[in-house]
Amino acid sequence: MHRFRNTLTLTLKEFRSLLSDAVMMGLIIVIFTVAVIAIAKGISIEVRNASVAIVDEDHSVFSRRLADSLQAPYFQPPQYLPSLKEAQQAMDKGDYIFVLVLPPQLEKDLLRGAKPEIQVIADATALSQAGIGFGYLQHIIQREALVLLGQDDMTDLLPLQPHLNITFNPNTDSSWFLALANVSTFVFMLAMLLVGAAVIRERERGTIEHLLVMPVSANEIAAAKIIANGTVIALATLASVQFIVKGVLSVDLSGSMALFALGTVVFLFSAAALGILLAIAAPSMPQFALLMLPIYIVLRIISGGETPLASMPDWLQNISQASPMTQYVSFSNAVLFRNAPLHLVQKELLIMGGIGLAFLLIALLRFRSMLDKQG
C-alpha cells in the first residue's frame, strides 16, 4: 500500500509536468493529427499523374487512340516531342517519367500480322511510378492493339481465367496502410522521447536530489514515468486511430479497439522502458537525442511498416523479430485490418511484453546505480 501511494504521488507529479509543457503537448497533437494525415495523403506508392511524352513517328489513327488512352488519374495528358534526341534530352532534365517511341508504319505492321516494337523509356529514379506505371502502359498498349485487330474480347478463348479477390483493402489504397503504420512508429518515437526526456530533465534540473530524500525507490520512480507518459500517448493513439484514421481518412478498420488498446499499452511499456535505458546511458539531452534517433530510424525501417519483412534478407528478418516495433506493426495490422482475435496475436503481445521486461530490468539496475552516484 505504501508503494502504491508513492507511485500514485509520483505519477500525478509526472502528469502535471507533462500537461504543463505546452510544446510537448502541441507536438503530441500535431504528430497524431497533421503528421498522420500529411504522410497518408502525401506519400503514394500508386501511379498518380505520371508525366508522359510521345515521339510519334507513325501519325496514324492507332497512335492517336493510344495517346488518348493515357488519362487521369494515372497519367498526365501526354506531350508530343518531335524526335528521339529531344526525348532523351527531356529525360536527362527529368521532365518526364515515361517516353513512348512509336515507330513508323506501326499501325500497318500490326494489321498485316507483324510484331512491331514500341520503345518505352522510363525514369527509374521515380522507382515506384516507373515500375508500376510500365505495367499500366503495357496493358493499355496491348488493349488498344487488340481493339485495332478486332480481338478486344479474348476472355472466352483463354483456357483459364483467374479471379482476383482483394481483401482488407479493396481499393488497394496505400494511404490505409501508411496511416496505421505511421501511427505505430509515432507511438514508439514519442514513448522513448517523453519518458527518456523526463529522466534527463530530473537530472538536469537537479530535482533528482529531491527524490533521493523521499522514501521512494527506483522502481516507483520508473513506474510513475512510464504510467504517466504512457497514458497520455495511449489516449492520443486511440483518439488518432478513431477520429483521424477511421474518421478523416475513412480507413475501414473492422477489428477490436479494446484488443488494439491492450496491445498499445504493452508496446508503450516496452518502448518507455527502452527510453529510460537510453536516458540513463546518455548524460545530457542532446546526447540522448543522438542516441535515440538512429535506434528509432533503424527499428522503423526493419519493422515491416516501410517495406514488407518478406523482402528483407533472412538474417535481417530474424533480427527484426527482437524489435518491439516489428511486433506492434504486425499486431496492429492483424487486429485492425484482419479482425484477428486474441489467440492469434498473443505471440506478439508476449514478445513485446518480454522485450519490455528485459529493457526495464536493465534500466532499473542502471537507474539504481545512477541514484546511488547522485546520492
Per-residue pLDDT tens over the stretch 11-44: 888 888 888 888 889 999 999 999 999 888 877 6
Q: Which amino acid is at 269?
A: F
Question: Is residue 179 located within the same domain as residue 317?
Answer: yes
Q: Could you tell me the CATH number of the domain that includes residue 147?
A: 3.40.1710.10
pLDDT over 70 for what percent of the chain?
88
Q: 162 in a domain, yes or no?
A: no
Question: Is residue 208 located within the same domain as residue 319?
Answer: yes
Q: Assign 134 to helix, strand or coil.
A: helix
Handedness of CA 35, 39, 41, 42 (dihedral sign): positive
Question: Is residue 142 located within the same domain as residue 232?
Answer: no
Cα 332 to Cα 154, 179, 266, distances in angstroms: 42, 12, 12
Q: Which residues of 105-129 are buried (b: 16+ CB within 10 A; e: fewer)?
A: ebbeebeeeeeeebebbbbeebeeb
How far is the C-alpha of 232 from the C-alpha of 26, rounded, in Å?
Answer: 12
Domain boundary among 128, 157, 186: 157
How far is the C-alpha of 113 from the C-alpha of 100, rounded, in Å?
Answer: 21
Question: Is residue 203 located within the same domain as residue 346?
Answer: yes
Q: What is the mean pLDDT of residues 248-255?
A: 86
pLDDT in tens, 213-230: 666 777 788 888 889 999
Residue 18's CB is within 10 A of a number of other CB atoms, namely 20
Q: 108 in a domain, yes or no?
A: yes
pLDDT confidence of 363, banded at 50, 70, 90? Answer: confident
